[in-house]
Structure 1
Amino acid sequence: MVEVEWESNGCRRTGGGVRNQGGPGNPANATLSEAEIVEAALRVVREDGVAKLSMRRLSRELGVSPMAPYYYVADKRELLDLVAGAALTGVRTPPPESGTWQQRLRQLVDQIDEKLRKHPGLGDVLIEQMLGKQLDLIASVMQILFDAGFTDRNVLAAYATIHTYLFGRSRVNPRDRSAPADVTLPDSVARAIKYMPDLRGRYSYDFGMDVLVAGLEAQLVRQASADVR
């Protein structure tokens, strides 16, 4: 990689990251890694939303020169690509011989959910990028649905259902959702609401996926019946 020095901007490009040459509020000799940039971008998304993520906002979060992030990316679109790609590293599509379509779907979606848990804010980034650079992820899910026997139209409907569950769930945050002390809850609500913390836990995720897969199985049966008629 060719080194390019930006002495006037306070940053120097190096093979290992961005080395800050000092400046107001910026300690000298601080090197940024790709992982640090990705995590800083996700923090901004968590706190302010993906719409507020900018190169300048990212540099403030990192405490570096506004030019430092440009070592890795040219603009916000490339930044989102970097964040999504780095955060999804390690997600593997189960091959057809690895199990039934239900098992393969669970294995793939489980991996994505694990990444969403590990990187809060990633869901918003992926929604932003899903029809751009993350088409391989969509294709993997859809191929499993095609292998299951869904029609073209139903593959799209099934994928949309999975997408809505997975990424909609990533936005569910039960913190600070307790009812005001002066509010009397209906009995049915009071009995259930004590389990609000489950909404971010494994139990709720497994419950939802079991319901989703069972529903897809039922839709396959309905599709087959419609084909016979």
Structure 2
Amino acid sequence: MGAKRTRGQRAGLSRERVLEAALGLVERDGLGALTMRKLAAELGIEAMSVYHYVPNKDALLDGLVERVVERAVEARPAGGTWREALREYALALRRTLLAHPEVVPLLASRPALTARTMATVEAILDTLREAGFSPARGLRMIHAITGLAIGEAAVYAGAGPDALGPNAVDAESFPLLAAAVREGAAGLDGRFDFALSALLDGFAEAAAG
């Protein structure tokens, strides 16, 4: 006779489904509302059954970070250059964080060194190694890109895309700043693209030097 299955297993649950339910709960009710008991209620199972998939609260939070990072890496173009891979990773990470703003503080504060997160980073490092970057430089590049995406997502989530309108600055007192704002320099989408391009240009220049 096989091992007795838990209620969660009978319900067809998996670690991925548990983490997706946790993401949905956090998005709806906020990160502070995430508890093992509430997650179990969300899944329609007993609280103890959740521990079959995530052993504790820290593992659950690490799992949320893991899911966000995996989604970003899944968007990388197959067979693209290292620059295209990093650019799409950054755009996808920021896009995912904007869809789940409550998770932004987690990525900013937790290394989340799960096996799957490290496998994700390993895949990007392999792309960079093939382009001639050492593992150490590649990891620094990933950290820089990730930090930019997290920071910009946090600003966007807090301010919104139109936080500084074209008439928000007194042109008489601050003519240069007002001119820059009128030309769209304060737009968060454009600012992110500019910063990302500057980072990638810097990586390319360092590789060529």
TM-score range, shorter chain: 0.5 to 0.7
Q: Say which SS state the counterpart of residue 73 (structure 2) adopts.
A: coil
Q: Could you tell me which runs of 5 or more consecutive residues in structure 2 were left unpaired when the two chains were aligned.
A: none
2:73 maps to 91
2:198 maps to 211
Q: How does 1:96-111 map to 2 (within 5 A)?
A: 98-111=79-92
Q: Say which SS state the counterpart of residue 155 (structure 2) adopts.
A: coil
Q: Residue 137 of structure 2: which of 135, 146, 154 is its match? A: 154
> Which amino acid is 1:161 matched to?
A
- CA, structure 1 residues 164+91, in 2 after alignment: closer, same or farther (shift >3 Å)? closer
Q: Could you tell me which runs of 5 or more consecutive residues in structure 1 were left unpaired when the two chains were aligned.
A: 5-11, 18-31, 223-229
Matched, 1:120 2:120: no
> Which amino acid is 1:41 matched to?
V
Matched, 1:172 2:155: yes
More helix by percentage: 2
Q: Give the total of aligned pairs.
A: 190
RMSD: 4.1
Distance 2:180 2:201 in 1: 23
Matched, 1:198 2:198: no
**What are the superposed Cα offsets for residues 143-166 of structure 1, whole Å, 9 maximum, x if unpaired?**
233222223443343233222212
Return the offset for 1:111: 2.8
Distance 2:33 2:49 in 1: 12
Whether the 8 Å contact between 1:105 and 1:144 is mirrored in structure 2 is: no
More strand by percentage: 1
- Give TM-score scaled by structure 2 length: 0.65
The percentage of counterpart residues that share the same residue type is 20
Q: With CA pairs under 8 Å and 6+ residues apart, which has the higher RCO, 1 or 2?
A: 2
Higher Rg: 1
